[in-house]
Amino acid sequence: MNTATIYAPSDYRHVKYLWDDDKVAGMTPLERLVFRSNILGQDLRITNTGGGNTSSKCFETDPMTGESVEVMWVKGSGGDLRTSTKVNFSSLYQDKVLSLEKLYRDDPNNGVKSDIEDSMVQMYKHCAFNLNPRAPSIDTPLHAYVPFNHVDHMHPNAVIAVAASENGEALTKEIYGEEIIWTEWQRPGFDLALIMRDVIAENPQAKGIMMGQHGIINWADDDKECYELTLSLIEKAGRFIEERENRKPVFGGARFEPLSEERRREVLVGILPWLRGKVSHPKRLIATIQCDDRTLEFVNSVDAKRLAELGTSCPDHFLRTKIKPLFVDWKPSDGKEAIESLRALLEDGLEQYVKDYAEYYERCKKDDSPALRQAVPTIILIPGLGIIGWGKSKSESRVTTEFYNCAVEVMRGAETIDRYRALPEQEAFDIEYWQLEEAKLRRMPPEQSLARQVAVVVGAGSGIGKEVCHRICGEGAHIVSVDLSKENADETAQEIVAKMGEGIGISGTGISGCGPAIGLSADVTARSTIVEMLEEAILAYGGVDALVVTAGIFVPPSVAGDISDDAFSLTFDINVKGAYLAAKAASDSIFQKQQLPNNVVITTSANAVVAKKGSVAYDTSKAAANHLVRELAIELSPMSRVNAVAPATVVKGSAMFPRDRVIASLAKYNIEYSESETDEALRGKLAEFYAQRTLTKSPITPEDQAEAIYLLLSDSLSKTTGHVIPVDGGLADGFLR
């Protein structure tokens, strides 16, 4: 087969052709590199999130001398090709990087995994062009020592399937002839870069190198040619596998029949909070569930257990997926006893996994190895259910799950054309803990105060609830935005997603995707809708750590000052019963199963202790809510802390202050206004009037309440429970007319 043959854009079946001559016309070399990287990275069949790297060598003007110098732009450490911008690329003087070879050679103990090789990573910083602060990655020399202008190093599933086959070298030659050269597995680094340079010199016809069990690196002197070559190489591997797909059953054939979607949901909802509690030690983890048809085909197969035990092969995967997943040998079936059986198997499996992982660490560790990681599995495979991935955030658990999906596709391809092989245990350990150390060297910032936590905020569509979502997402919390109006809940969730920079699904079941926030609907007076909402939260994140109830209602009295019986009941249903139902449902379905410390915060009102004419239903409901806090604090202890904030009247952003009520209040208090004034102006006048009744003489805002609620959710007030914290500007107890 002739690698030089490039497919027509319409002929690709295993990748997307996205090059656009019009878009790149007039771009600088760096801009063209960013474009090439983005179109490669957005296709997960080409490379996984954060995986792979690209580079371009070009001439730039030296800011010190004004001379034209050769500079290599290469994806920096920790970047992701699909979202990379200019700032994600390191720039290095090419001649300085090449000059590092002497430093490396002069050390008599040089070689793969040697101290001098590890120290070379820090030397790349001394080669930075134009004081570029972006840290170069460990793959930098792989690009520098390839004597071509443009280099792509990708991790395509189809190609890794070839690289991870027992007869990978022979298969590489069969697919690519002499134009792709096989090299055995070696940890990426300076030593491998020099080996590659020598391979290229010895094989001038070569257009790329197959890196055993790792991926592929290829090159060209034109960037479009390099891009098209990358796609061509992946397409050829994909077609080679495709042509052999029906020669034997996939993964040895089916061992179990899939569960119905309804039953799968029932089982997941039943086990996830309990399971999250088990794996969240010493730190909480967030879940992502993957149960598409291809995933279920794998976990339900004859060979799933054997392949899972082998672990993954691509080095990019180890930091997140660990050396191997936990496979739970459960027979999918109906009935409550089946869930109990699954729970028992998980209990035993988790205990054995922790023991096995500690033994693996002891077998493979070296004197300078980082400390043992949290030993629980980050990937759990369950027949009938799919993959459950775990991480410190939704983003990380989603990527972890994505990586294992890639591993499954690699296994699928390798088992189709040959037999899958994983990295030897010591090599896997060295990569896992080397990457761990590399991550630490990036000086990751300390975790935020609500990191790893999931907060359900009821009443998030407006006012205090919306502001709480914005306040606590900035502290790392994942947000379940809940409102009677699904549209309003989604709007808040969309704002959080945009704020956090993750444009991935914000509503739905949470299966296989959702970002740092989802929008859901619930009626706090209807237990069934609350339970359904909490089930969605479980499927999205694995569990919940905090419940904030800000939903409330004020029904204005009639002109005569009366309130109807129905309005009185509705006020208590929402302001008291609603908070109770939400707290009880969260406790029964999640908190008790998780057995992780959690928080419930309710908003009551300063009106609970300030009697005044015209709001008897509202004021007495809030007084009842105050006592509800104390009752729930006792009932839900010791795992749950239950508190409340009691604001004075909050006008800004409140759904309880529509324009007609604001105008009625202005008229009631003889405050001058004009019908032509905007809603914001009218609200401002009313808020200022209420402010003058406080000691601080300042309007009470949603932001004030959100700050108090954040403190109650954090560890700052970790010994506070059963209390109502006034946020009312010093509004005194007494009687207001």
- Please report which confidence band the pLDDT of residue 597 belongs to, taking 50, 70 and 90 as the band edges: very high
Pick the more confident residue, 207 or 659: 207
Q: How confident is the model at residue 4, as a pLDDT?
A: 57
Q: Please compute the mean of the pLDDT values over residues 59-73 and round it to a whole number.
A: 97
The reply to whether 392 and 346 lie within a common domain is yes
What is the C-alpha to C-alpha distance for residues 659 and 684, in angstroms, rounded to an integer?
A: 12
pLDDT average, residue stretch 106-116: 94
Question: How many structural domains are present in the chain?
Answer: 3
- Of the two residues 652 and 431, the one the predictor is more confident about is 431
Residue 509, pLDDT above cutoff 60: no
Report the DSSP beta bridge partners of residue 483: 521
Enclosing domain of residue 129: 9-243
Q: Does residue 486 register a pLDDT over 90?
A: yes
Residue 263 has pLDDT above 70, yes or no: yes
What average pLDDT score do residues 314-343 get? 88
Please indicate, yes or no, whether residues 476 and 362 belong to a single structural domain of this protein.
Answer: no
What pLDDT score was predicted for residue 437?
60
Average pLDDT over residues 215-228: 97
> Is the pLDDT confidence value at 124 over 50?
yes
CB 719 within 8 A of CB 713: no
**606 assigned to some structural domain:** yes
Segment 408-414 shows an average pLDDT of 96
User: How confident is the model at residue 508, as a pLDDT?
Assistant: 33
In 350-447, DSSP assigns E strands to 379-382, 386-391
Tell me the helix, strand and coil percentages in the chain, rounded to 5.
50, 15, 35
Among 312-321, 397-406, 501-510, 591-600, the range scoring the smallest mean pLDDT is 501-510
- Give yes or no: residues 287 and 176 share one domain: no
pLDDT given for residue 510 in this prediction: 36
Of 441, 470, 504, which marks where a domain is finished?
441
Pick from 635, 535, 653, 623: nearest CA to 583: 635
Contact present, 149 and 106 (Cβ < 8 Å): no
Q: What is the pLDDT of residue 734?
A: 45
Model confidence at 676, in pLDDT bands (50, 70, 90)?
confident
389 with 481, same domain? no
pLDDT confidence of residue 505: 36
Q: Per-residue confidence at 407, pLDDT binned at 50, 70, 90? A: very high
Q: Are residues 233 and 274 in the same domain?
A: no
Which residue is it, tokens 């015209």?
A: 614
Residue 449 counted as domain residue: no
3-state secondary structure 304-372: HHHHHHHCCCCHHHHHHHCCCCEECCCCCCCCHHHHHHHHHHHHHHHHHHHHHHHHHHHHHCCCCCCCC
Residue 2 has pLDDT above 60, yes or no: no
- Give pLDDT, residue 716: 94
Please tell me whether residues 706 and 565 are part of one structural domain. yes
Dihedral, CA atoms, 528, 534, 535, 539, nearest 10 degrees?
Answer: 160
* % of the chain with per-residue pLDDT over 90: 75
Q: What's the pLDDT tens digit per position in 230-241?
A: 999 999 999 999
Which CATH number goes with the domain that contains 419? 3.40.225
Region 699-726: mean pLDDT is 94
pLDDT band at 442 (very low <50, low <70, confident <90, very high): low
Phi, psi of 685 (to 5 degrees): -65, -45
**What CATH code is carried by the domain that includes residue 52?**
3.40.225.10
297-313 pLDDT tens trace: 999 999 999 999 998 87
* 694 within some domain: no
When pLDDT is averaged across residues 154-170 and rounded to a whole number, the result is 96
> What's at 122, amino acid-wise?
Q
Q: Is 618 an annotated catalytic residue?
A: yes
Nearest to 547 by CA among 608, 492, 472, 621: 472
The label of the residue with tokens 């919390």 reads 477
Q: How far is CA 610 from CA 58, 182, 554, 616, in A?
A: 73, 80, 16, 11
Query: pLDDT of 418-437, one tens digit each?
Result: 999 998 899 999 888 887 66
SS3 194: helix
Q: What is the mean pLDDT of residues 359-382?
A: 93
Whose structure tokens read 């908190």?
591
> CA-CA distance, 369 to 363, in Å (whole number)?
12
Asked if the model's pLDDT at residue 732 lies above 90, the reply is no
Look at 40 and 503; give whichever has higher pLDDT.
40
- Contact status, residue 128 vs residue 63, Cβ threshold 8 Å: no
pLDDT value at position 567?
Answer: 94
Asked, for residue 23, whether it belongs to a domain, the answer is yes
Predicted confidence at residue 699, as pLDDT, reads 84
Query: What confidence tier does 123 reach under pLDDT thresholds 50, 70, 90?
Result: very high
Q: Does 189 fall in a domain?
A: yes
Q: 319 pLDDT exceeds 80?
A: no
pLDDT attached to residue 512: 46
**Average pLDDT over every residue of 466-489:** 97
Whole-Å CA distances, 248 to 195, 244, 720: 38, 8, 63
Output the six-digit token pair for 651.
């006008």
The predicted structure's pLDDT at residue 736: 46
| Domain membership flag for residue 28 | yes
> Residues 478, 481, 487, 488: is their CA dihedral positive or negative?
negative
How far CA 126 is from CA of 97, 116, 144, 440, 649, in Å, comes to 9, 16, 15, 20, 60
Contacts of 209 (CB under 8 A, 6+ apart): 180, 181, 182, 183, 196, 199, 200, 216, 217, 218
Whether 626 and 547 share a structural domain:
yes
Residue range 126-146: mean pLDDT, rounded: 95
**Helix, strand or coil, per DSSP, at residue 255:** coil
Q: How many degrees, rounded to 5, is the angle at CA 368 between CA 434 and CA 437?
A: 30
Q: Which of 2-16, 252-266, 356-370, 634-648 has the lowest mean pLDDT?
A: 2-16
Indicate whether 205 pLDDT > 80.
yes
Average pLDDT score over residue span 211-222 = 95
Bridging pattern class, strands 598-603 and 546-549: parallel
Q: Which residue has the tokens 């700050």?
A: 707
Contact criterion met (CB below 8 Å) for 52 and 155: yes
Mean pLDDT throughout 515-544? 97
Residue ending a domain, choose from 441, 471, 501: 441
- In three-state form (DSSP H/G/I as H, E/B as E, the rest C), the secondary structure along 83-104 is HCCHHHEEEEEHHHHHHHHHHH
| More confident: 688 or 405 | 405
**Which residue among 357, 541, 618, 710 is the active-site one?**
618
User: Is residue 311 a part of any domain in this protein?
Assistant: yes
Q: Which of 453-462, 610-619, 685-694 has the highest mean pLDDT?
A: 453-462
Q: Hey, is 518 helix, strand or coil?
A: strand
| pLDDT attached to residue 244 | 96
Q: Are residues 711 and 614 in the same domain?
A: yes
Is a pLDDT exceeding 50 seen at residue 503? no
- Within-domain flag for 191: yes
* 436 and 459 assigned to the same domain: no
Residues 292 and 420 in one domain: yes
pLDDT at 558 over 90: no
Domain C-terminal end among 414, 441, 468: 441
Query: What is the residue-wise DSSP string for 212-224?
Result: TTTEEEEEESSHH
Please check whether residues 225 and 265 belong to one and the same domain.
no
Average pLDDT of the chain, as a whole number: 91
Residues 436, 465 within the same domain: no
What pLDDT, on the 0 to 100 scale, is given for residue 507? 33
Close Cβ partners of 299 (under 8 Å, ≥ 6 residues apart): 381, 382, 383, 384, 385, 386, 387
CATH number of 709's domain: 3.40.50.720
Supply 644's token pair. Answer: 């409340």
Mean pLDDT of 351-357: 96
Q: What is the DSSP letter of 392?
A: S
**pLDDT value at residue 1:** 39
Task: Identify the pLDDT of residue 560.
Answer: 67
Mean pLDDT value of segment 46-64: 93
Q: Worst-scoring range by mean pLDDT, 58-62, 266-270, 651-655? A: 651-655
